[in-house]
Amino acid sequence: MARILVVEDDKHLSEFVCKTLTFEHHMPEPEMNGEEALYRMLSIRYDLIVLDWELPGMAGVDVCKNFRNKGGTTPVLMLTSKGSINEKRQGLDCGADDYLTKPFHPDELCARIRALLRRAGGRMNDDILRIDDVELEPTNFRVTRAGHEVVLTRKEFSILELLMRHPGQIFSPEALLDRISSVEDEVSTALIRTHIKNIRKKLDAGGRASIVHTVHGLGYRAQAPDAVASASPE
């Protein structure tokens, strides 16, 4: 599951791309203005950016160039109707990692996104994450405990996935909040506490020991119940 900014001023195409990405269990966030997109790219940590060329406010190539000049490293997929060799060269030279011309097939879009995410450091892969008897399948949006399926919301899944990808690492409530919230959300760290409680309630049904631990004053981590003597559930 990846957090993806979709910068596209065609409302219908933006909705189509976002629905496609949601079906693939990603968390897409739409944006239609180039200047606003650049602000979000610099303010929020995304896993990938899908960027149109022709945008109000600032052209996509200028958005990408500014983003790279300011130190942005998030993978960028340029999505545009401009398909000449010179235009592709210009798009890639501005800092885009890949280039897909319209019209496109959704399967190709998803395949290119998977490739970019793998190239960016394996933030999305086919590996099953395991801690104790809890298994999480990122590409299938599936969680099981002792073989029994556990149904989580998209945000609960995203939080658990992040914790399980880094067993033993402590994440502050702010870091987890940054993972699941968009600029439109009215959120606070209290929301993270609510999500953590819901994750535990679902995973720990029947009195099982939790794999999600609170490190008081610091945040949360995922680890086998018998591996963390100092942490206690909230």
Q: What is the pLDDT of residue 52?
A: 94
| Same domain (yes/no): 184, 205 | yes
What is the residue range of 183's domain? 129-227
Q: Which of 119, 145, 180 is the last residue of a domain?
A: 119
DSSP state for residue 135 in the 8-state scheme: E
| 57 token code pair | 């406010």
Coil, strand or helix: which one is 210?
coil
Check: CB of residue 21 under 8 Å from CB of residue 44. Answer: no
Structural domains of the chain, count: 2
| Same domain (yes/no): 75, 159 | no
| Same domain (yes/no): 115, 142 | no
Instruction: Give the C-alpha separation, 6 to 69, whole Å.
Output: 20
Q: What is the pLDDT of residue 232?
A: 46
Q: What is the pLDDT of residue 187?
A: 63
Q: What is the pLDDT of residue 193?
A: 92
Mean pLDDT by 10 residues, the chain (234 residues): 92 95 89 95 92 94 96 93 83 92 93 88 66 90 93 92 91 86 66 94 92 94 75 46
Instruction: Give the C-alpha separation, 78 to 150, whole Å.
Output: 37
Q: What is the pLDDT of residue 230?
A: 45
Establish if 98 belongs to a structural domain.
yes
